Amino acid sequence: MPTRLIHLAEHQQWDQVKHALALTRHSTEELTGALVKAVFFQNLEMTQLLLEAGANPNRSFDGAEFPPVSAAVEQAWQPGLQLLLAHGGDVNVRRFGGWTPLIHAVDVEADGAWQTGEPATLDLLRFLLEQGADPTLRDDNGECAADLARRYGWDEAVQLLSQEHLTDKP
């Protein structure tokens, strides 16, 4: 059951969230739940405040196994992702199904392109790779990011992810 803090964030009542943060100490679980909402709404100021208050960018406490880092990838929100990583976010954190942010980013970009008819961009993938994302990590089905890109027929991503993998080898 969502707490008052999470409810306020879910309804974008940011002034009340700030007030609640100033008045009461909240659990990591509450703070992180509110953080996921702030990230989904791409609210950089609230993301910063919740991280400073003790929210965990790598965990999910609601059973969804969808940590704030994954929420930022879902939104393709690089400024928020950068802030989460600066506050201890793990660029290789696993979410439901074992997806890493890089695998998730392939899905977000390729599926988004398919839905809109616009070409997929490599920006989010490049950003994650620059931050240290490991393209060799595999999900619970044994697939890495390049495998998913290949299934989508996204050749540019396959090439980028394969090159990145090859440059990591001695």
2-31: pLDDT as tens digits = 689 999 999 999 999 999 999 999 999 999
What is the average per-residue pLDDT within 60-80?
Answer: 90
Question: Is residue 97 domain-shared with residue 156, that is, in the same domain?
Answer: yes
Position 17 scores a pLDDT of 97
Q: Does residue 170 have a pLDDT over 70? A: no
Residue 102 and residue 166 in one domain: yes
> What would the DSSP string read from start to end of the chain?
---HHHHHHHTT-HHHHHHHHHH----HHHHHHHHHHHHHTT-HHHHHHHHHHT--TT---SSS---HHHHHHHTT-HHHHHHHHHTT--TT---GGG--HHHHHHHHHHHHHHHH-SPP-SHHHHHHHHTT--TT---TTS--HHHHHHHHT-HHHHHHHHHHHHHH--
**What pLDDT score does 164 carry?**
62
**Domain CATH code at residue 36:** 1.25.40.20
**Domain edge (last residue) among 90, 121, 137:** 90
pTM of the model: 0.90
Q: How far apart are the first and last CA of the chain?
A: 50
| 102 and 86 in a common domain | no
**Is residue 166's pLDDT more than 60?**
no
Percent of the chain with pLDDT over 70: 95
Q: Is the domain of 104 the same as that of 139? A: yes
Q: What is the pLDDT of residues 77-126, one digit of tens each?
A: 999 999 999 999 999 999 888 999 999 999 999 999 999 999 999 999 99
Residue 20 shares a structural domain with residue 63: yes
Supply the pLDDT for residue 147.
Answer: 97
Question: Which residue, among 41, 100, 44, has the nearest Cα to 69 in the 3D structure?
Answer: 100
Range of the structural domain that residue 70 is part of: 1-90
